[in-house]
């Protein structure tokens, strides 16, 4: 949730994230970047407040599952480097 909290960082982060998604071949990378950021931001805030948890948990799980299957497992970043 923290990476999308400030507008300037969110805009710059969204541009960088969209570039990464474009490199990965994701369709509509700018749209998908903003949808991902908003899902994590709004979903994280809702969970933190204990509101609409059942409603936001499915989109948040989908974002995490896609990230796990497309980035974390193939790149090996699921392992701790400590």
Closest CA to 1 of 78, 75, 56: 56
pLDDT averaged per 10 residues, the chain (length 82):
53 86 92 92 93 94 90 68 48
pLDDT score, position 7: 61
pLDDT score, position 67: 85
CB-based burial label for 1 (10 Å; 0-12, 13-18, 19+)? middle
- Quickly list H helices, the chain: 7-23, 29-49, 53-67, 73-75
User: Which pTM value belongs to this model?
Assistant: 0.73
Q: Report pLDDT digits (tens) over 36-57.
A: 989 998 999 999 999 999 999 9
């Amino acid at each position: 949730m923290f990476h999308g909290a400030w507008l300037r960082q969110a805009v710059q982060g969204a541009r960088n994230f969209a570039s990464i998604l474009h490199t990965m071949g994701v369709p509509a990378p700018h749209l998908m970047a903003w949808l991902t950021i908003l899902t994590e931001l709004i979903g994280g805030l809702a969970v933190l407040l204990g509101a609409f948890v059942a409603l936001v948990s499915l989109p948040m799980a989908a974002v995490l599952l896609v990230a796990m299957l497309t980035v974390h497992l193939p790149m090996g970043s699921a392992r701790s480097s400590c």
